[in-house]
A and B are shown apart, each in its own frame.
Chain A
């Protein structure tokens, strides 16, 4: 390694370290700011925030009631529902790109999905508010609902699932696919029986990271979910997710109210970090599996059976 390369390595290393420190700093900041509501003199504490202390419950910060549990449930319902909707589409995109599409179609598809991933969330929110919500509202008023939130979020995380699943499929060792083809398996059997199981851990990582993205999304959900604090009781009922709660009330919250919003942020960060951690673990499983294939087993050209049909 030359001297300038060593310098570059050190500089990049320092920047990487700095980003790690920044993450720690953010978590520490959230912890300090939410401390009054977690352990202060008149604090509801973690039990109060999660609605476990048997109090009157409800989110009435001006009356000193800080029960976040309906919003935690709402976040889980909206993000989970969105993932259920987005996963089949995202996985289908990835499989189509790798095993079925011709090179030109695959490139076009990748481009389209990349574009979809780059659309700002406020645009999705605006579309949801002006098109989707009135459409649902004509059928089941008021329209701003869990369903609207799920649909908008699903649209936003399809590219996340598609891009990460595509990367996972690209990492399946060629030798495995060649072996399957050499055994005379059909394309269908190779995709469903060999490639998907081989990429399993990477696919799980894709789904978990998409879920984390859906949990953290704020503006688009804020615009379509109705934001009434309530337990998710049906697809057509309005609800308020944790992120929307912070965005709605941060502008004027003070004292314990402000601290409880920081606590909501801390909770969200913890959830997202947990999901990202699980995603990483799943991804590591993939690399371990790959190391077992013999070095040099990969050949540059794909076997004919794996090329798209003419």
Chain B
């Protein structure tokens, strides 16, 4: 009994010791650290898992914290790559962006909703609360439930930017977190309208979930159109770095952009490039 107790103590302390900052024991040729966007992170994690199994001894760590953290970490050289779920802005030209995949954002309504298309002005009127009934945009007399994403999500930022809406002008009835929640909310409410990642909406609609994607500026909201680059609201999912990658980082980048990971990209409902 007595001899077991030190063992127990070691067992309890081990996780604490293991959680020390990874930079302290990093070995440049065997470890890679990435940080940034929580949209890109799940995809990179899957790619990293496969890369590790192909390259025994290599460890790839992925930390989330948002696109801005990815940018800051990449700039300061703390990570091999930052993950950024949008195109780089002009003031970020000091960084190199490598696109892994694309993601389109489409408007969804309930399948029973007869409205086939909405103009940009109609979408703006609905999201700012000027139009509150489907009858005003050619639908049945039924109140509109506006489904919006939580403030600061990159999907929300892109949507607002496309329609030129300031965040505080939107009058939502429901605020959601991730795509799955948005799809379930719209599927459960015949009067709802929302916007989500096109890949996941197409996948769910294919499974029989009662939602329908609306075309945008006359372009059907499909993964194929995003891939062709014709769909108006889409964004690249990028890895960024300050210097051209070398060694392990370069090998990982080449692998992450190769057709060998396209199945992983599709599994995350993104569009391969």
Q: Which of A's residues lie within 8 Å of B, judged by CB?
A: 3-4, 7-8, 10-11, 14, 18, 59-63, 126, 129-130, 133-134, 137, 141-144, 222-223, 226-229, 238, 240, 247-249, 251-254, 257
Chain B residues contacting A252 (CB-CB under 8 Å) are: 37-38, 65-67, 152-154
Question: Given that A133-B188, A228-B173, A251-B64 are contacting pairs, would A142 and B150 also be in contact in the complex, using a CB cutoff of 8 Å?
Answer: no
Q: Is the CB of B151 within 8 A of A142?
A: no
One of A4, A14, A142 near B189 (C-beta < 8 A): A142
Question: Given that A8-B1, A133-B188, A248-B175 are contacting pairs, would A257 and B143 also be in contact in the complex, using a CB cutoff of 8 Å?
Answer: no
Known: A7-B2, A129-B188, A141-B173; 6 extra A-B contacts, CB below 8 A, are A14-B5, A60-B167, A141-B142, A142-B192, A228-B175, A251-B177
One of A10, A60, A144, A222 near B177 (C-beta < 8 A): A222
Q: Is the CB of A133 within 8 A of B189?
A: yes
Alpha-carbon separation in the docked complex, A294 to B64 (Å): 62
- Residue B68 interfacial (CB < 8 Å): yes
> Chain B at the A interface: mostly helix, strand, loop or mixed?
mixed
Alpha-carbon separation in the docked complex, A3 to B188 (Å): 63
> Chain A at the B interface: mostly helix, strand, loop or mixed?
helix
Q: Is the CB of A143 within 8 A of B188?
A: yes
Alpha-carbon separation in the docked complex, A83 to B188 (Å): 27
Q: Is the CB of B1 within 8 A of A7?
A: yes
When C-beta atoms are compared, the residue in chain B nearest to A5 turns out to be B1
Most chain B beta carbons < 10 A, residue from A228, A248, A253: A248
Chain A residues contacting B130 (CB-CB under 8 Å) are: none
Interchain nearest-CB distance for B176 vs A (Å)? 7
Chain A residues contacting B38 (CB-CB under 8 Å) are: 251-252
Q: Is the CB of B143 within 8 A of A141?
A: yes
- Residue B99 interfacial (CB < 8 Å): no
Question: Given that A8-B1, A141-B145 are contacting pairs, would A134 and B189 also be in contact in the complex, using a CB cutoff of 8 Å?
Answer: yes
Q: Is the CB of A61 within 8 A of B173?
A: no
A-B CB pair tally, cutoff 8 Å: 105
Alpha-carbon separation in the docked complex, A222 to B187 (Å): 17
Q: Is the CB of B184 within 8 A of A130?
A: yes
- Contact residues, B117-151 vs A (CB, 8 A): 142-143, 145, 150-151
Alpha-carbon separation in the docked complex, A251 to B41 (Å): 11
Q: Is the CB of B151 within 8 A of A60?
A: yes
- Residue B215 interfacial (CB < 8 Å): no
Q: Is the CB of B189 within 8 A of A248?
A: no
Chain B residues contacting A7 (CB-CB under 8 Å) are: 1-2, 5
Q: Is the CB of A62 within 8 A of B177?
A: no
One of A238, A240, A257 near B173 (C-beta < 8 A): A238
- Residue B14 interfacial (CB < 8 Å): no
Alpha-carbon separation in the docked complex, A222 to B185 (Å): 12
Chain B residues contacting A18 (CB-CB under 8 Å) are: 12
Show 11 A/B contacts (Cβ-Cβ < 8 Å), sorted by A.
A7-B2, A63-B168, A126-B184, A137-B189, A142-B191, A226-B174, A249-B150, A251-B38, A252-B38, A253-B152, A254-B68
- Contact residues, B1-28 vs A (CB, 8 A): 1-2, 5, 8, 12
- Residue B172 interfacial (CB < 8 Å): yes
Chain A residues contacting B188 (CB-CB under 8 Å) are: 129-130, 133-134, 137, 143
Alpha-carbon separation in the docked complex, A228 to B174 (Å): 6
Q: Is the CB of B5 within 8 A of A142?
A: no
Alpha-carbon separation in the docked complex, A251 to B152 (Å): 10
